[in-house]
Chain A
Amino acid sequence: MEEIPLTRLRPGEKALVAVLPAARRDLARLLAFGILPGTEISILQTFPVYVLAVGHTILAIDKEIAASIKIGRP
């Protein structure tokens, strides 16, 4: 399985989270939103910020955080 940054995905695509950012603050935030390795996310929008759907939660994050999340692609 290949690990690529979330920013490589296009709107409408779905993927499983593989690696979370190492920065403690970013990690703490994503964990609090229920984003963990193995969580399925779908990309709703990529500009001006990244908008993700995680279950019934919709989350907007900036490009830097999005780039620090790696997703697995089979």
Chain B
Amino acid sequence: MQRSIILVGAPNVGKSVIFNNLTGKYVNVSNYPGTTVEVARGYARIGGVPCEIVDTPGIYSLATVTDEERVTREFLLAGQPDLVVHVADAKNLARSLPFTLSLIDAGLPVVLVLNLIDEAAAAGLAFDTAGLADLLGIPVVATAAVRKIGLDRLRSVIAAPRPRPQPPFLLSPDLEAAAAAVVDRLGARRPAARILALLLLAGDPASHALLKNDPAYAGIAAAAQAAVARSPQPLALRIAAERQVQADRLAAAATRHGPAGRRRLAGFLDRLTRHPLTGIPILALVLYWGLYKFVGGFGADVLVDYIDENVFTRVITPAVDYACRQWVPWEWLRSLLAGDYGLFTLGLRYAVAIVLPIVGTFFLAFALLEDCGYLPRLAMLVDGLFKQFGLNGRAVIPVTLGLGCGTMAVFVVRTLETRRERILATFLLSLTIPCSAQLGVVLAILAGDGRSVALWAAFILAVFILAGWLTARLLPGERSPFYIELPPLRLPDPANVIHKAYTRMIWYFVEIIPVFFLASFLLWLGDRSGLLTYIIKAVEPLMAGLGLPAATAQIFLLGFFRRDYGTAGLYDMAAAGLLDSRQLLVAAVALTLFVPCLAQFMVIVKERGPVAAAVMTLIIAAVAMAAAWVANLIAPLFI
């Protein structure tokens, strides 16, 4: 019988590192709150017992706010796991224990893992895990997962027979009486009835929503309301306060204080990165070196040229050509494989030679920033700006990730709290944020002229700010409060960084290659049937209105399949010298803003719904054309 094991805990506590060590399988190991995009599952034999291990999005408590957090809660309260492994940051034991207590309260078989024990030791903290285990009645294991300390002990605890659920830690009599009254209405046999009752008393909207359609809901809500009315203070506050008293007592009994080592350098860097006077210049340096130099320069220039010239132009393209001429008697198949829109010449070459090096370098840079804990600092620095767009600093993570891959970024938008924020962020991402493939190609085609790059950047930034400001006003809603935990700056673990970048690239490749081939195939089909010529003819007047040559029409069509695909076509035209600098600028602006690529569009449909996706795409197409028209008018003033 396979055992189901669920890892839970707050963000930044090393849950995913533990998951990787237990399963050896992929998960997004993140140092930023909320980037475990989807729940990761792994399978392993632990101490001879076959186990399915699930890594869940980070949560601080069972009172959830975002959709992502609700996923974790569902796993816990509806999934009936065989074992719940609560991973906590040892330094913050007193803060983590209330969650452990509520898991015990839910009748779940719990193991507490005190991770980052090395960081705690540096802060002068030591723990009596055996004593704490006695007090809690559950196994407690101390680990330093990145250094592989304590993991064998954790494995043996996981392999041991399922621990018996413990009796709950009781609150004061009046709260217990109120909870009992609600449990009575819920039916005591319902799983986790007691914790559900406490959440209902605390006014947790997700718990109320869960029971809305239950025939007994009216009675349940009435019982909860009666208790709320009797209490002079909000019950959420009272329950949390009593839990914290229990947690503080337990933590105090289990913690030994010693002299703290000083981490002068980390403390110094911590202050530098979050103070605006030094933080903003550091942010500019990070963008310049990480994005412009590493991704734009090394990835888009050096690597793309190398792979395109040495691998494709010299080896693969001639080989495919030769093979087609030798062994493929049918002209239609030859053109499908190696023609202008061929699967190899267009699909594979664009994916491998142009897009992969750019996206790969971006994911490497992003993983580095993520792993060292820099991203939350970025979020706090830009909070003020993003508030103007109806968002808050947290949205900087999907937006920055969008500079890598817009499709992935639209997934990550689900970590934002309100529906309004998710729509605003998706719109801004789809309209204004160029993905790394586009960025790389745009930088490459405008590279001859620093002024063009500056103009392009200024124009896109202006559209970003204007569109953000306008949509926030057209789509009014409640304020989105900003709060984020700043994890300590940690030296990135190279294995972790490479693992993260590598797994994202695998995700990207699995997602992108089929779309590239599909796009190639559709274009080939359109070309053979004459439909493409017809559509291109129809779009040409539009191009003329933007002062662009007719041939760019084809690029805009390519751009619908993938934006980067379109810009890559522009790269070919620029290389052939078919566009002057004004036309290049206008085309670069239009394609940067133009409708999201096919993959991103499909994710928008999935995440935001077909209506929102269709409306957004129409608006985006119109705005992109209008902006390109304006760019065409004002470009002569500068160039």
Contacts and interface: CB of A to CB of B under 8 A. Distances in A.
B28 to A, nearest CB: 22
B234 A27 contact: yes
A65 B483 contact: yes
Given A49-B380, A61-B482, A31 B276 contact: no
5 contacts: A25-B417, A31-B236, A36-B240, A55-B92, A59-B483
The range of chain A's interface size is 20 to 34
B95 A33 contact: yes
The 10 closest A-B pairs by CB, nearest first: A32-B60, A34-B95, A56-B91, A62-B482, A31-B240, A60-B380, A58-B486, A32-B61, A61-B483, A28-B63
A16 interface: no
B184 interface: no
Contact of A65 (B275, B482, B485): B482
Interface of B: 60-61, 63, 65, 89, 91-92, 94-95, 98, 123, 203-205, 234, 236-237, 240-241, 244, 270, 274-276, 376, 379-381, 383-384, 387, 392-393, 417, 479, 481-486, 488
Nearest to A27: B236
Contacts of A48: 276, 380-381, 383-384
A13 interface: no
Nearest to A26: B481
B92 A51 contact: no
A29 B244 CA distance: 14
A63 B111 CA distance: 38
A2 to B, nearest CB: 21
A40 B317 CA distance: 67
B639 to A, nearest CB: 36
A58 B91 CA distance: 12
A37 interface: yes
B484 A33 contact: no
Nearest to B392: A62
A25 B91 CA distance: 26
A51 B485 contact: no
B376 A60 contact: yes
Contacts of B379: 60
Nearest to A54: B95
Nearest to B270: A58
Nearest to A31: B240
Contacts of B482: 49, 60-62, 65
Contacts of B486: 51, 58-60
Contacts of A49: 380, 383-384, 393, 482
Contact of B241 (A22, A33, A36, A60): A36
Given A49-B383, A55-B95, A64-B481, A25 B244 contact: no
A25 to B, nearest CB: 6
A67 B12 CA distance: 27
Pick from B234, B275, B482, B483 the residue with the most CB of A within 10 Å.
Answer: B483
Contacts of B234: 22, 27
